[in-house]
Amino acid sequence: MKISSRQACLPLLITAILLLHSQVLAQELVHVAIGNPDCSPFDVPAQGEVRLPLWFETSEFIGGGMLQLAVVDSTWLYWTGLDFYYPWEYSYNILGNVSVLSFLPEGDYLDTLLHVADFRLYIDADSSYYGQSIQAVVAYNILFVDTTGWWSFNVDYCVSPLCIECQTSINDSPQVPGEISCSAYPNPFNSSVTISFALPHDGEAAVTIYDISGRKVRNLFRGGASSGRNRVVWDCTDDSGAPLSSGVYFYILEFGEYRSSSKLVLLK
3-state SS, 47-112, equals EEEEEEEEEEEECCCCCEEEEEEEECCCCCEEEEEEEECCCCEEEEEEECCEEEEEEECCCCCCCC
| Element of type H or E holding 193 | strand 193-199
Average pLDDT of span 139-165? 88
DSSP secondary structure string, 20-56? HHHHHHHHSPEEEEESSTT---EEE-SEEEEEEEEEE
CATH of 181-266, one of 3.40.50.620, 3.40.50.2300, 2.60.120.20, 2.60.40.1930: 2.60.40.1930
CATH number assigned to the domain covering 30-164: 2.60.40.680
pTM score above 0.75: no
Mean pLDDT over residues 251-268, rounded?
Answer: 87
Task: Delimit the CATH 2.60.40.680 region(s) of the chain.
Answer: 30-164
- Tens of pLDDT along 62-74? 889 999 999 998 8
Q: Where in the chain is the domain with CATH 2.60.40.1930?
A: 181-266
Q: How far apart are CA 217 and CA 98, in angstroms?
A: 39
Top-confidence range, 58-62, 113-117, 151-155, 220-224:
220-224
Q: Are 56 and 32 in contact (CB under 8 A)?
A: yes
> Over 50: is that where the pLDDT of 172 sits?
no
Burial 231-248 (b: 16+ CB within 10 A, else e): ebebebeeeeeeebeeee
Half-sphere exposure of 222 (CA within 13 A, CB side): 5
